[in-house]
Structure 1
Amino acid sequence: MISAAERAIKKKRSISEEKKDMISGYLYIAPFFIIFAVIGLYPALFSTFLAFQNWNGLSPMSFVGLENFKVVLADPLFWKSLYNTIVIGLLGTAPQLVIGIILAFLLNLSFLRFRNFFRVTIFMPYITSMVAVALVFSVLFSNHESSLANYILGVFGFDPVNWATSEWGTKIAIAVMVFWRWVGYNTIIYLAGIQSIPGDLYEAATIDGASKIQQLMYITMPLLKPFIILTVFFSTVGALQLFAEPTVFLGAGAFTRDEAMTVVMYLYRDAFKLQSFGTASATAIILLIIIVIFSAVNTLLTSGVGRKKRGVKG
């Protein structure tokens, strides 16, 4: 028979072993949380703190309350940058989601030859260096009449456009750059979603006489709904955080011109050009609120894709 003392010792040993396993488990995952706290959490909290301070990076901080938010919201350039961000985001993001689904559907067709080649080719812009992208698009959308974009306009009888200086010319050029760079990324995501759909559904639809367009609308689109919601969410966040494309396209004068200044460029200008870290942090918080609102609205709208209306039977 095991005495009460021996049972207590065994129980204590088992508890200590459980504690050792728990501690070792926390130690294994600790590097992630430490890195996240240093790189992600601390800057976010410090930025929130700075939003209520007046600080140029060197002098002592002074508490100003909501004054930084008032300054940003009263600045016409902020609203202009928000307008630019939304317009460029719509022009560059909305078409790529629609065309991405169509391209993914075409790349999944069984009779298409060289499918792997086309898949790699369409994904190449995503991994292309931004320096190379800037060089290519600066040539394509050059202000010169012989540039490719102006040549195409001339074929259709339109006058040449000063792409790098005009209001809408700059927005369209940057939107095309965003579309070209990200359409392949979304296409690959949609392609993965299409390949997860059972082929029996398409075979049954073909036997019933459904065309490829009908299969796309009534089979592919409803079953791609989770992937569409994911890409819409990421695209919304990415569009509202647009920075690299307008910066590299406009070059050194990007922060002195307002026809293509985005909210993140406005934030960057305040922080690193004007040394006004308080208003820059306030802009970051305002941008976060805008991203949450736009993402929630777009997710709600996208969640209705493929939803069938049910009639009430009497």
Structure 2
Amino acid sequence: MNRRSTLAGGDTGTPVSPSPAALPAAELTPVTNPRPPWRQRLSSWDVRTAPYLYIAPFFVLFGLVGLFPLVYTAWVSVHDWSLLGGQGEYVGLQNFRDVLTNPYFAKQLVNTVSIFLLSSVPQVVIAVVLAALLDSNLRGRTVWRMSILLPFVVSPVAVAIIFGSLFGDRYGLVNQLLGGIGLDPVLWHVDRFASHVAIATMVNWRWTGYNALIFLAAMQAVPRDLYESAALDGAGRVRQFLSVTLPMIRPTMVFVIITSTIGGLQVFAEPRLFDETTARNGGSDRQFGTITMLIYDFGWQLRDLGRASATAWMLFLIICAFALLNLFLLRRFGVLGGER
């Protein structure tokens, strides 16, 4: 036997693999995966970026029509800015001080809050009740569901004309009905609280059906098994509504309450068109003028965009404060008990 083979493999003659030092350099190069084809790279890139592209249009539109006007209004509010002359000198918070010392600001702020409370609170309650009725086995449900949205599609100008006639001080239908039951007529366009009730009625008539359909969609998404289980436990219709329906539509209630708050504090068309003679300034004594009407007066009648922008920013902060207050009250009374 060859001595070299004996030393390498022993007496058994088993071959031994050569050591790495004895291998050529080309055979020691590690094997690497080949670069994936361009179609696979494109597919991987699409998976990573497609979700962002899908949501990008919302953020682009929000930046153009939401965020940019908000920031630009803040810039205008700290300058002496005329509608015709354009940007003037920097005045800091002087426009905000002028608005706060304006004799009509406090009064129209109270009017805004009053109309908001008289419209938003009954609006949400009535909308929930109407949605519960439409969700039941009501005869002709399709017709009722279609008809409940009709007030929303009616022009605000037409609504103002109709309700202006209904709440007329002399020949209004509401005063005639009040006289028929022995009550004195109400000066709807003169009395401050009465005008708030009339305007809030207009707002409720126009927006209650819209919110009712939102609640109806949420109620139809509630699993019917929950109602069957509640019925087996002996719960009646009212108990099912309180213990099953309302807890299950909490997110929708929060949405409607927040949007009603925003819309109620921004009310403009209804008080602006309530009275053809005095509604331009919110009544003869500003008895039903709102903050948005004050913004209109500053911007288009006085042509002072600086004070108009300052008023708009103050209204924005007031809306944020009411929204946070709503969230606090909803959490306090358990409406948001299951959410974080």
Match of 1:66 among 93, 117, 120: 93
Q: Which runs of 5+ in 1 are unaligned?
A: 310-314
Residue equivalent to 2:170: 144
Residue equivalent to 2:143: 117
Residue equivalent to 1:79: 106
Give the 3 Å change call, closer, same or farther, for CA 200–36 of structure 1 in structure 2.
closer
Q: Which has the higher helix share?
A: 1
CA–CA distance in structure 1, aligned partners of residues 248 and 51 of structure 2: 38
Amino acid corresponding to residue 94 of structure 1 in structure 2:
V
Give the 3 Å change call, closer, same or farther, for CA 294–9 of structure 1 in structure 2.
same
CA–CA distance in structure 2, aligned partners of residues 57 and 8 of structure 1: 66
Q: Is the 8 A contact 1:186 1:231 kept in 2?
A: yes
Match of 1:204 among 212, 219, 229: 229
Give the stretch that moved more between structures: 230-239 or 196-205.
Answer: 196-205
Q: Displacement, 1:293?
A: 0.8
Q: Is the 8 A contact 2:189 2:275 kept in 1?
A: yes
Deviations 1:139-158 (A, max 9, x none): 2111124x221122223322
Q: Displacement, 1:62?
A: 1.0
| RMSD value, Cα | 3.0
Matched, 1:94 2:121: yes
- Which structure would you say has the larger Rg? 2
Q: Which runs of 5+ in 2 are unaligned?
A: 1-26
Match of 1:229 among 237, 240, 254: 254
CA–CA distance in structure 2, aligned partners of residues 219 and 32 of structure 1: 34
Amino acid corresponding to residue 265 of structure 1 in structure 2:
M
CA–CA distance in structure 1, aligned partners of residues 231 and 43 of structure 2: 61
Amino acid corresponding to residue 62 of structure 1 in structure 2:
E
CA–CA distance in structure 2, aligned partners of residues 308 and 39 of structure 1: 31
Residue equivalent to 2:307: 279
Give the 3 Å change call, closer, same or farther, for CA 199–251 of structure 1 in structure 2.
same
Higher relative contact order (CA 8 A, sep 6+): 1
CA–CA distance in structure 1, aligned partners of residues 316 and 196 of structure 2: 23
Q: Displacement, 1:32?
A: 5.6
Match of 1:253 among 278, 285, 289: 278
Q: Is the 8 A contact 2:250 2:336 kept in 1?
A: no
Task: After the TM superposition, list the runs of 4 or more consecutive aligned residues in structure 1 that deviate by more than 6 angstroms.
Answer: 6-31
Residue equivalent to 1:290: 318
CA–CA distance in structure 1, aligned partners of residues 267 and 128 of structure 2: 23
Q: Is the 8 A contact 1:88 1:174 kept in 2?
A: yes
CA–CA distance in structure 2, aligned partners of residues 290 and 203 of structure 1: 44
Secondary structure of the residue aligned to 2:309 is helix
Q: TM-score, normalized by length of structure 1?
A: 0.86
Q: Displacement, 1:285?
A: 1.1
Give the 3 Å change call, closer, same or farther, for CA 160–53 of structure 1 in structure 2.
same
Q: Displacement, 1:300?
A: 2.4
